[in-house]
């Protein structure tokens, strides 16, 4: 699994289009909930869903990207399969709840 970032809206669209599974993690460095959740989500993907690429999106540095994906609450998690938004979770996200949601689609896609 790759933990990456990108620098523009165009780049994010290209990444989503070219990959079968992409998770966008929207947050800021000032969000304590996001800082606590980010490594847990990353580890979940690494252990159970390695074909999904993890991308961190800093809302402060890329507000146009956050606006495009309507990710105004931090943290917000968007999961894309085959270029389509399939899962959206915000604020208090349980890792088990996220895992179950991903599992259903992951089994179908991969």
| CATH assignment at residue 94 | 3.40.30.10
Overall size of the chain counted in residues: 110
Q: How far apart are CA 57 and CA 73, in angstroms?
A: 12
For range 39-57, the mean pLDDT: 95
Q: Domain count of the chain?
A: 1
Cα distance between residue 73 and residue 59, in whole Å: 9
- Residue 30: the pLDDT is 83
Q: How confident is the model at residue 3 (pLDDT cuts 50, 70, 90)?
A: low
pLDDT digits (tens, 9 = 90+) for 14-34: 999 999 999 999 998 888 888
Q: Which domain holds residue 63?
A: 3-109
In three-state secondary structure terms, 84 is strand
Whole-structure pTM value: 0.92
């Amino acid at each position: 699994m790759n933990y990456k970032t990108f620098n523009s809206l165009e780049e994010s669209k290209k990444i989503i289009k070219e990959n079968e599974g992409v998770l966008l993690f929207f947050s800021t460095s000032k969000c304590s909930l996001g800082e606590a959740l980010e490594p847990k989500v990353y580890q979940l993907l690494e252990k159970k869903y390695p074909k999904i690429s993890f991308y961190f999106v800093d809302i402060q540095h890329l507000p146009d990207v956050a606006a495009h994906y309507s990710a105004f609450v931090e943290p917000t998690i968007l999961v894309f399969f085959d270029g389509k938004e399939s899962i959206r979770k915000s604020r208090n996200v349980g890792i088990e709840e996220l895992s179950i949601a991903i599992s259903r689609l992951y089994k179908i896609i991969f």
